[in-house]
Chain A
Amino acid sequence: MNRIDQKFRELKAKKQKALIIYLTCGYPDLKTTEKLVLELESRGADIIELGVPFSDPLADGPVIQESSAYALKKGINLKRIFSLVRSLRKNTQIPICLMGYYNPVLSFGPVKFVQEALKSGVDGIIIPDLPPEEDRELVSLSKERGLKTIFFLSPTSSKERMRYIAQVSSGFIYYVSLTGVTGARQSLPSDLKENIRIIKSCTEKPVCVGFGISRPEHIAGVFKIADGAIVGSAVIKAIKDSIGKRDLVERVGRFVREIYVR
């Protein structure tokens, strides 16, 4: 069974929700990303999203943009990311999703991308600028081979769209809490609860909420209504604040522990 499905099943049995942490791969370097994954798993992360850096990340706010540019300067590419995942798989079975923009995937070759992802131990892919209808082959190939394709819904999605995405998304559904780009916000949007309720009425699949989630009260709020919370920019900010410090990994680990106590 795919590690993502397995994880949600386990959590459900324990009546728990998923804490999903986003890390820009290679920020500040690949070795640190590897250590961070293991550290964050020990601090309570249930699923890891590994960001594939892209030159023009148009769904991302300044924090993730900056981390991507930084990683790109260090020569991070898909090949090195796959070998990082391979190396991680010697030590952990935590579900790993790759999150990256479509052009590097297209350039790598979608078929080869799916094959390499599975071979290295990736469980799912999240491509924010790829609506499922634009690459049906990638979706069906992934499905056939057992790689989850996680698609998005947002506050502006129509009911019809919700039904379509709920049907085609696998692993979980990524609900973007707000209209805008990634990045920390003060509070959760007021329409969150109602929108999650509507999505949940269309599907049994887990629904996880991301964008703007940075504080303990956000996570607690999301856990009341959805199946998981995704924290990205806040963690990247914590990494940024610790760059150059010898205990970067522990510091980021403590940060994650502080925003969420199970």
Chain B
Amino acid sequence: MLPDKHGHFNGFGGRFVPEVLISALDALEKEYRRAKKDRAFREKLNYYLKRYCGRPTSLYRAENLTQYLGGKLTIYLKREDLLHTGAHKINNTIGQALLALRMGKSRLIAETGAGQHGVATATVAAMFGLECDIFMGEEDIHRQELNVFRMKLLRARVIPVYSGSKTLKDAMNEAIRDWAANIRHTHYVIGSVAGPHPYPMIVRDFQAVIGQEARKQILEAQGRLPDYLVACVGGGSNAMGLFHCFFKDKRVEFIGVEAAGLGLHTSSYAATLNKGKTGVLHGSKSKVLQDKEGQIAIAHSIAAGLDYPGVGPEHSYYQKIHRASYAAVTDSQALEGLQLMSETEGIIPALETAHAIYYLKVLARKIKTKKTAILCLSGRGDKDIGIIREHLKL
């Protein structure tokens, strides 16, 4: 199973980092492999996922949405929005915090875009009694102010990042710099299936619980596997979490939905797999949005959590081997998806998730016969209310 021992996914992934980080990545990988085999660790992780986070999350048959979209595409929602802190991010931060404790680290740092990963990191830091600093682009601090306040309530420091595009990419640069300086007592909690090896593997494995539950639940509900798995992709952690354990179920089609921003024909989008070329960003080789000189492009999406010019290496691999396909949905289509879910099912989703929801509409129109899809409802929309209000006149 990939990645190989060098952290490569068939040419993607790897470890493109300054030397000072190498030993910490080695130590993290070693500790993770040990923890994975340790029953006590797994029990502890499961305990917190169940008792603290609220797993398993429900797989909800969205009958109204199914009917609204014509009835041919039966839609199930994997309700990660019901988890503690309101998104799938905590699956990973619980796991990484437990690893940090095993390694004797006293401080957690993280980058955040939408603020969900920042909140999920600040939450576990508060619970486990760890110091916590969150790096967040100044632009995102502005558009996700509710989450900034939540992090502060949890006693995390939110460090504004003013460089570059002042969004997720720059927050990640700054987190890596901080980690390099404080590597001895700090664990860097990367929030997506991105970054240098072993992060893409670790985050995938911690998020894979989404798909493991969903697979069991759908078999119970309808006695067979779904035809489609649909999830939004920024860095790609909720999508990879849903897809991963269906990898060998060849008839289950994976569809990742990227942010087309103002449109793929413009220069304002964050659809890395659709528009990027192979490059190296934040420690791994994957598709990257970049100019012809290899300078990293500035991404755009209405959803801060998708506003990133890179993508996890395993998605680039899935794309390369045609295991998954990747669509793209614009800002305004995402808003439409958000309203659609709110009005038909009474669930206000995160703007990130809304991209995948809109795609269900496209998919429902495309299919000829009855099919079933599982959508990863990766997060709830409370954090986005300010931004949604700016765009929608109700």
Q: For residues 39 through 53 of chain B, which have their beta carbon under 8 Å from a beta carbon of chain A? A: none
Q: Does A156 contact B (CB under 8 A)?
A: yes
One of B20, B277, B281 near A180 (C-beta < 8 A): B20
Q: Does B164 contact A (CB under 8 A)?
A: yes
Most buried by A among B17, B288, B292: B17
Determine whether the beta carbon of B181 is less than 8 Å from that of A156. Answer: no
Q: Does B177 contact A (CB under 8 A)?
A: yes
Most buried by A among B20, B173, B290: B20
Contact A104-B293, Cβ < 8 Å, known A129-B17, A154-B19, A180-B180: yes
Looking across the interface, which residue of chain A has its beta carbon closest to that of B283? A129
Looking across the interface, which residue of chain B has its beta carbon closest to that of A155? B20
Most buried by B among A102, A106, A133: A106
Q: Does A204 contact B (CB under 8 A)?
A: no
Interface size on A, residues (CB 8 A): 40
C-alpha spacing A107/B20, complex, angstroms: 25
C-alpha spacing A133/B15, complex, angstroms: 9
CB distance from B32 to the nearest CB of A (A): 18
Contact A179-B288, Cβ < 8 Å, known A56-B169, A103-B296, A129-B17: no
Contact A78-B16, Cβ < 8 Å, known A59-B180, A181-B181: no
Complex contacts, A59 vs chain B, CB 8 Å: 18, 177, 180
CB distance from B158 to the nearest CB of A (A): 19
Q: For residues 143 through 158 of chain A, which have their beta carbon under 8 Å from a beta carbon of chain B? A: 151-158
Q: Does B266 contact A (CB under 8 A)?
A: no
C-alpha spacing A156/B24, complex, angstroms: 8
Contact A128-B22, Cβ < 8 Å, known A54-B295, A55-B164, A180-B181: no
Determine whether the beta carbon of B280 is less than 8 Å from that of A102. Answer: yes
Contact A179-B181, Cβ < 8 Å, known A129-B16, A151-B19: yes
Complex contacts, B369 vs chain A, CB 8 Å: none
Q: Does B263 contact A (CB under 8 A)?
A: no
Looking across the interface, which residue of chain A has its beta carbon closest to that of B17? A129
Contact A156-B177, Cβ < 8 Å, known A104-B295, A131-B17, A180-B20: no
9 shortest interchain CB distances as A-B pairs: A107-B294, A180-B181, A104-B294, A152-B19, A154-B20, A55-B295, A156-B23, A59-B18, A103-B294
Looking across the interface, which residue of chain B has its beta carbon closest to that of A59? B18
Most buried by B among A59, A153, A157: A59
Complex contacts, A55 vs chain B, CB 8 Å: 164, 295-296
Q: Does A142 contact B (CB under 8 A)?
A: no
Complex contacts, B290 vs chain A, CB 8 Å: 103, 107
One of B16, B182, B277 near A131 (C-beta < 8 A): B16
CB distance from A119 to the nearest CB of B (A): 19
Complex contacts, B285 vs chain A, CB 8 Å: 134
Q: For residues 1 through 36 of chain B, which have their beta carbon under 8 Å from a beta carbon of chain A? A: 6, 14-24, 26
Complex contacts, A180 vs chain B, CB 8 Å: 20, 177, 180-181
Q: Does A130 contact B (CB under 8 A)?
A: yes
C-alpha spacing A61/B163, complex, angstroms: 11
27 A-B pairs with CB atoms under 8 Å apart are A54-B295, A55-B296, A56-B282, A58-B18, A65-B163, A78-B293, A102-B16, A103-B295, A105-B294, A106-B279, A107-B277, A108-B294, A129-B16, A131-B15, A134-B14, A134-B16, A152-B19, A155-B20, A156-B23, A156-B24, A157-B22, A157-B23, A158-B26, A161-B19, A179-B181, A179-B184, A180-B181
Q: For residues 166 through 212 of chain A, which have their beta carbon under 8 Å from a beta carbon of chain B? A: 176, 179-181
Determine whether the beta carbon of A156 is less than 8 Å from that of B279. Answer: no
Q: Does A72 contact B (CB under 8 A)?
A: yes
Looking across the interface, which residue of chain A has its beta carbon closest to that of B169? A56
Instruction: Return the CB mask of A24-41 against B: 1 if under 8 Å, else 0.
Output: 000000000000000000
Most buried by A among B14, B19, B182: B19
C-alpha spacing A244/B170, complex, angstroms: 29
C-alpha spacing A191/B69, complex, angstroms: 66
Q: Does A77 contact B (CB under 8 A)?
A: yes
C-alpha spacing A256/B323, complex, angstroms: 57
C-alpha spacing A69/B166, complex, angstroms: 14
Complex contacts, A128 vs chain B, CB 8 Å: 18-19
Looking across the interface, which residue of chain B has its beta carbon closest to that of A156? B23
Q: Does B183 contact A (CB under 8 A)?
A: yes
C-alpha spacing A133/B23, complex, angstroms: 14
Complex contacts, A176 vs chain B, CB 8 Å: 18-20
C-alpha spacing A105/B16, complex, angstroms: 13
CB distance from B93 to the nearest CB of A (A): 22
CB distance from B344 to the nearest CB of A (A): 41
C-alpha spacing A72/B296, complex, angstroms: 11
CB distance from A63 to the nearest CB of B (A): 12
C-alpha spacing A178/B21, complex, angstroms: 12
